[in-house]
């Protein structure tokens, strides 16, 4: 999931920057920064960033650009909403890029894959399920937290596979046979990570989770 500067052609990377810059600027503009005025909330936002930096550094890699690691986008999005989550994940990627020696030309492409696609899938699934399913505590835990966590990283893996194949980095058939299946295994870990963290938050600190409302999910008001 971490592209290097020479893995795809320059056209792909310039196109990624053209998309990422306005997307990031939009999230910075729309993000509810007043929420972080509360020291508890700001510490939580920074704590998630630090935790994900550590998590993203623990990765496995078979070939150049074919690295695998847990994502945490579903947790970040359900806790802070799409805009603060996207900005936070961009900071996580910045820190891990510095740690890896700085693949800056490919930063926008990686940001779109890991932050953009991850947040979009998480928020989109949350909005869809809010309409399609009843608002129930157990549905939030088992579907929004657990299942959607796994679905998000599967979606990121599929988009990454298609990008690498269409960009000519590796043959598409090779990627579908030797790369994408690993995301099925990773999805189980991601589901447990997302579900476990959000379950603890909802039980002990429900006010930390911006997408969870006691009145809706417990008292059905």
Q: How many helices (H) and strands (E) does the chain have?
A: 10, 2
> Stretch 9-25: mean pLDDT, rounded?
95
pLDDT of the residue at 66? 78
Q: Give residue-wise pLDDT tens across range 72-107.
A: 999 999 999 999 999 999 999 999 988 876 678 999
Mean pLDDT score across all residues of the chain: 92
- Torsion over CA: 94, 98, 99, 103 (sign): positive
Would you give the DSSP letter of residue 31?
Answer: S
pLDDT of the residue at 219? 66
Class of domain 10-217: mainly alpha
pLDDT of the residue at 96? 92
Answer whether 111's CB lies under 8 Å from 163's CB: no
Q: Has residue 67 got a pLDDT over 90? A: no
Nearest alpha-carbon partner for 128 in 112, 152, 157, 111: 152
Nearest alpha-carbon partner for 73 in 220, 194, 213: 194
pLDDT of the residue at 1? 72
């Amino acid at each position: 999931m971490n592209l290097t500067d020479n893995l795809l052609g320059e056209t792909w990377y310039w196109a990624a920057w053209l998309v990422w810059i306005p997307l990031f600027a939009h999230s910075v503009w729309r993000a509810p920064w007043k929420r972080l005025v509360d020291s508890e909330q700001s510490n939580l936002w920074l704590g998630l960033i630090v935790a994900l930096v550590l998590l993203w550094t623990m990765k496995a890699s078979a070939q150049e650009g074919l690295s695998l690691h847990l994502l945490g986008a579903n947790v970040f999005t359900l806790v802070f909403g799409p805009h603060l989550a996207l900005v936070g994940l961009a900071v996580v990627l910045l820190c891990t890029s510095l740690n890896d020696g700085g693949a800056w030309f490919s930063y926008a492409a990686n940001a779109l894959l890991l932050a953009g696609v991850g947040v979009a899938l998480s928020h989109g699934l949350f909005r869809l399920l809010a309409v399609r399913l009843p608002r129930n505590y157990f549905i939030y835990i088992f579907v929004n937290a657990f299942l959607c966590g796994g679905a998000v990283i599967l979606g990121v893996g599929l988009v990454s596979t298609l990008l690498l194949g269409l960009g000519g980095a590796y043959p598409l058939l090779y990627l579908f046979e030797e790369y994408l299946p690993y995301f099925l295994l990773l999805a189980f870990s991601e589901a447990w990570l997302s579900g476990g963290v959000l379950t603890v938050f909802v039980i002990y600190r429900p006010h930390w989770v911006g997408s969870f409302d006691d009145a809706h999910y417990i008292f059905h008001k």
